[in-house]
Structure 1
Amino acid sequence: MIKQILGKLPRKPSKSADNREFGGSSSSNLNTSGSRATDVVSGAPVSSNSTLIPGSDTSSNATYGLGSKVPSVLNSKVNGNAVTTRYEALPGFRDVPNSEKQNLFIRKLNLCCEVFDFTDPTKSIKEKEIKRQTLLELVEYITSVNGKFTETAMLEVIKMVSVNLFRSLNPQPRENKVLEAFDLEDEEPLMDPAWSHLQIVYEILLRFVASPETDSKLAKRYIDHSFVLRLLDLFDSEDPREREYLKTILHRIYGKFMVHRPFIRKSINNIFFRFIYETEKFNGIAELLEVLGSIINGFALPLKEEHKLFLARALIPLHKPKCIAMYHQQLSYCITQFVEKDCKLADTVIRGLLKYWPITNSSKEVMFLAELEEILEATQPAEFQRCMVPLFKKIAQCLSSSHFQVSERALYLWNNDHIESLIRQNRKVILPIIFPALKRSSHDHWNQVVQSLTLNVLKIFSDVDPELFEECLHKFQESEAKSEESKTKHEATWKRLEEIAASKAAKGEAILVATQTRSR
């Protein structure tokens, strides 16, 4: 029903925002994961896994962007069983002269400041439908309006949006919630029955921000730091559709309000800090990283020191949390963007990866190896040489892993032409480090695919530099012989110790028997 009504509304293209130091204002730039926010007008789907969350109703006196309180605009409000005494539909915009449309717009915004209880679908059915229809009319008006929005209209839009959206998320937290990634993926997001209204409110905010009739110099007084902070808090919503809308809206705000850009970056940075070092729980990390991916893509060169610090202190430590699988794709994209912008950052990034490299989590190791391949593909020879020794010590460990996916993923690095070229250029340093692991895996690993891939890598080195290969083989054989000799000595030593211990035990037993005999 809602899509049929929404699909009838006209659309109006908006002017592009100022995108200096910004990767474009189109929401399509954000979506590294491939999902899209629902367009209320077109009814296009949000994502393939559309789900809902619960929300709690907020009263009309909630604080909003201005930091002041929202005045009561109706005779009474729906709260529990209390029903508004007079909640009636206002005339349509087509039924009033142009001179009255601004006033009617404000009256409709005030009408929509009423927040209903959606936990009981039998309550206030008529009033809810009136509000829904009014919200749809507001979407149409904002889309088709000709002439700049007045300051009063901006105030009322932000007030209405704040009253409806800024609410307590997840009022009934799940008990004993484990933060392992596979548990989070299997859980069903909580459902919010109020989404039929919230979706349209988000669409109103999106179209208001994107509208060419919204003067950013005036609007920044109402879409201020307080408003942005509360918008960022909503990214913790469990509903992926809500996070998609928030992602697109934040992207538009960043593009349109240049004055807010440093504050937005700093606020996202603070969310990451709390997530990494305190809670390890925040639902919207992936969406925030998608916004950042677009922002990083638009950074001017040379990169500011502020941006490099953000990479080192916030993005790289995001590899630490256990639930990295929930946002790793977006994180990897952001970090690769930095390396592509400034190749000198490759050493910092690779050493950061090695610092947070997982020890016992094989699935996480596979993700790290996939990200490492993307980073190495953007790495220049000079930066590669700085970190290749610690890097290939770690890769040697991966090649020796008993988990076949880890070994296999490490061997796939040789399938990348750029990485193979880097290895070939520095083979005199790299081959001695990884040769023992390759040689052992070629005949000792339990997985046949790993053995086959290892033999292929050994053949590459043998063909490229036979002398170096033979030298490494000779050293390996010597090392194995010494190891075998040392093992034999250790076994002989332990055997001798066992014999001495047995001899002393026999003597002790004999002395004990003799003592007992004498005592008798």
Structure 2
Amino acid sequence: MLKQILSKLPRKPSKNADNREHGGSHTTLLNSSTSSRSSDLGTSKSGNSIASHVALNYASDIGPYNDKKFARGANPKVNGIPVSSFYEALPGFRDVPSSEKQSLFIKKLNMCCVIFDFTDPTKYIKEKEIKRNTLLELVDYVTSVNGKFTETVMQEVITMVSANLFRTFNPQPRENKVIEAFDVEEEEPSMDPAWLHLQIVYEFFLRFVASPELDAKLAKRYIDHSFILKLLDLFDSEDPREREYLKTILHRIYGKFMVHRPFIRKATNNIFYIFVFETEKHNGIAELLEILGSVINGFALPLKEEHKLFLVRALIPLHKPKCLPMYHQQLSYCIMQFVEKDCKLADTVIRGLLKYWPITNCSKEVMFLSELEEVLEATQPSEFQRCMVPLFHQIARCLSSSHFQKWIEHTDTFFSCCVYESITSFHSSPGYVLT
């Protein structure tokens, strides 16, 4: 009797039947409702999890998905079905009416969230070219769009950008040697094989951030602290082309999102702390200092205590690492910005240079002397007298060094003569003896 009752109840369709029903429907895939996306798409997650989440929405009608199948570097598949079976180009923006362009824009963003493996140039050639052309269309659209970006669009843009850019680096082995100034230019940088797509994603995001149609008050919900931290992590890329884009983008974010400025400065400080006191390995210190040079130039007077602490705790200790030649020019510029804004900081800077003065590295010592020359030119007599004694003691050691001839050739003649005359005068004054 029970079996007869159960036999009359409607049966739940099996997963296989559901897969067979929707497996080849490309139109259904592209028209899947954006409302089905979870509310955390706007937050900055790791590249792999975002790509997996997008894979679920992009192929929501194919069937269950597996996070591992959309891991970066793997062959893109959904439920065992290769992307090539449904990855086709979408219509151009000129081919649809204005009322449908935003919807098409979102679909193209979703399409560009699929990550391809570029370590093998023979795989997915057609699909890679489709994605590249689609990215170029997105760049043109975001440049010429009229009308404010909606929150939905912002959400999808951050999702696409995060899926493509946020990834784990596989650093090349580095030799444990002292980096001399002439070594910096000779080392061959590591180029990312995926740059063919990454460059366009960076260009797209740069134009999106710089667009007058982007409302910073709304966008700060998606370009949030988590997103900024992941963007800062990318500065350790070995590809100089990527670091150049990151420098420009972060500078634009700093200028546009005033609410994020203190956080960006604090996060950058933390990168410097880890670099100086723990690892002494980071590829993007020069680019970060370039950004900070512009930021320091805009500091209002009188300088806040926070900014002075940044000079003492972050910038001056950057003279310590052996790889100083890689970023000394940018560091020296930042230091001079502080001294020119507040001449009373000259004593702090000079004492900081003396604290980290190199003992066995002649090339690095030449850099210190060159920077010291610039600082002294901007130093007032009252400040100079405060640090005169330890400064002359250090220069006396340089003059008595076996490397004297080498650093004197790299230092301005006028400065050298002035230093020598000052030391002579200082030596003849009563009560002081140079050792």
TM superposition score normalised by structure 1: 0.67
- Give the CA deviation at 1:188: 1.6
Quick check: 1:431 aligned with 2:424?
Answer: yes
SS of equivalent to 2:58 = coil
Q: Distance in 1 between matches of 2:384 and 2:360?
A: 27
- Give the CA deviation at 1:230: 0.2
Q: Distance in 2 between matches of 1:213 and 1:373?
A: 47
User: Contact 2:171–2:238 at 8 Å: present in 1 too?
Assistant: no
User: Contact 2:106–2:153 at 8 Å: present in 1 too?
Assistant: yes
Asked which structure has the greater RCO (Cα within 8 Å, sep 6+), the reply is 1
Could you tell me which residue of structure 1 aligns to residue 74 of structure 2? 79
User: Contact 1:65–1:162 at 8 Å: present in 2 too?
Assistant: no
Q: Distance in 2 between matches of 1:125 and 1:272?
A: 41
- Give the CA deviation at 1:395: 1.3
- Give the CA deviation at 1:185: 4.6
Q: Distance in 1 between matches of 2:341 and 2:397?
A: 30
* 1:252 partner letter: R
Q: Distance in 1 between matches of 2:273 and 2:284?
A: 14
* 1:74 partner letter: Y
Could you tell me which residue of structure 2 aligns to residue 180 of structure 1? 179
Could you tell me which residue of structure 1 aligns to residue 310 of structure 2? 310
Q: Distance in 2 between matches of 1:278 and 1:183?
A: 23
- Give the CA deviation at 1:378: 1.2
- Give the CA deviation at 1:178: 3.8
User: Contact 1:64–1:162 at 8 Å: present in 2 too?
Assistant: no
Q: Distance in 2 between matches of 1:394 and 1:311?
A: 22
* 1:79 partner letter: A
Q: How does 1:240-279 map to 2 (within 5 A)?
A: 240-279=240-279
User: Contact 2:216–2:257 at 8 Å: present in 1 too?
Assistant: yes
TM superposition score normalised by structure 2: 0.80
Q: How does 1:391-470 map to 2 (within 5 A)?
A: 391-403=391-403, 404-409=405-410, 412-414=413-415, 420=418, 430-433=423-426
User: Contact 1:401–1:407 at 8 Å: present in 2 too?
Assistant: no
Could you tell me which residue of structure 2 aligns to residue 362 of structure 1? 362
User: Contact 1:350–1:387 at 8 Å: present in 2 too?
Assistant: yes
Q: How does 1:147-158 map to 2 (within 5 A)?
A: 147-158=147-158
Note the aligned Cα RMSD (angstroms). Answer: 2.6
C-alpha change, 1:252 and 1:330, in structure 2 (3 Å) is: same
* 2:195 partner letter: W
Cα-to-partner distance string for 1:6-44 (whole Å, 9 max, x where unaligned): xxxxxxxxxxxxxxxxxxxxxxxxxxxxxxxxxxxxxxx
Q: Distance in 2 between matches of 1:434 and 1:386?
A: 17
User: Contact 2:41–2:155 at 8 Å: present in 1 too?
Assistant: no
Cα-to-partner distance string for 1:378-401 (whole Å, 9 max, x where unaligned): 111111111111111111222222
User: Contact 1:155–1:222 at 8 Å: present in 2 too?
Assistant: yes
Could you tell me which residue of structure 2 aligns to residue 339 of structure 1? 339
User: Contact 2:184–2:325 at 8 Å: present in 1 too?
Assistant: no
C-alpha change, 1:172 and 1:394, in structure 2 (3 Å) is: closer
C-alpha change, 1:323 and 1:132, in structure 2 (3 Å) is: same
Match for 2:43 among 66, 69, 92?
66
Greater Cα offset, 395-404 or 241-250: 395-404
Aligned residues: 371
User: Contact 2:139–2:203 at 8 Å: present in 1 too?
Assistant: yes
Q: How does 1:50-129 map to 2 (within 5 A)?
A: 66-67=43-44, 70=50, 71=53, 72=55, 73-75=57-59, 79-80=74-75, 82=77, 83-84=82-83, 85-129=85-129
- Give the CA deviation at 1:273: 0.3
- Give the CA deviation at 1:177: 4.6
Q: Distance in 1 between matches of 2:360 and 2:129?
A: 54
Cα-to-partner distance string for 1:427-485 (whole Å, 9 max, x where unaligned): 5xx434467xxxxxxxxxxxxxxxxxxxxxxxxxxxxxxxx8xx99xx99xx9xxxxxx
- Give the CA deviation at 1:402: 2.0
- Give the CA deviation at 1:80: 2.8
Could you tell me which residue of structure 2 aligns to residue 197 of structure 1? 197
- Give the CA deviation at 1:410: 5.4
- Give the CA deviation at 1:160: 0.2
Q: Distance in 1 between matches of 2:232 and 2:44?
A: 16
Could you tell me which residue of structure 2 aligns to residue 43 of structure 1? none
- Give the CA deviation at 1:409: 4.3
Q: Distance in 2 between matches of 1:370 and 1:413?
A: 12
Q: How does 1:354-393 map to 2 (within 5 A)?
A: 354-393=354-393
C-alpha change, 1:321 and 1:202, in structure 2 (3 Å) is: same
User: Contact 1:280–1:321 at 8 Å: present in 2 too?
Assistant: yes
Cα-to-partner distance string for 1:334-358 (whole Å, 9 max, x where unaligned): 0000000100000000000000001
- Give the CA deviation at 1:412: 2.7
Q: Distance in 1 between matches of 2:109 and 2:355?
A: 53
* 2:74 partner letter: N
Greater Cα offset, 361-370 or 177-186: 177-186
Q: How does 1:153-172 map to 2 (within 5 A)?
A: 153-169=153-169, 171=170
Could you tell me which residue of structure 2 aligns to residue 320 of structure 1? 320
- Give the CA deviation at 1:173: 3.5
Q: Distance in 2 between matches of 1:390 and 1:340?
A: 22
Identity of aligned residues (%): 71
SS of equivalent to 1:222 = coil
Q: Distance in 1 between matches of 2:300 and 2:171?
A: 44
Q: Distance in 1 between matches of 2:125 and 2:195?
A: 15
* 2:179 partner letter: E
Q: Distance in 1 between matches of 2:185 and 2:406?
A: 21
In structure 1, list runs of 5 or more residues that go unmatched: 1-60, 436-467, 480-520
- Give the CA deviation at 1:405: 1.8
Higher Rg of the two aligned structures = 1
Greater Cα offset, 406-415 or 289-298: 406-415
Q: Distance in 2 between matches of 1:291 and 1:375?
A: 21
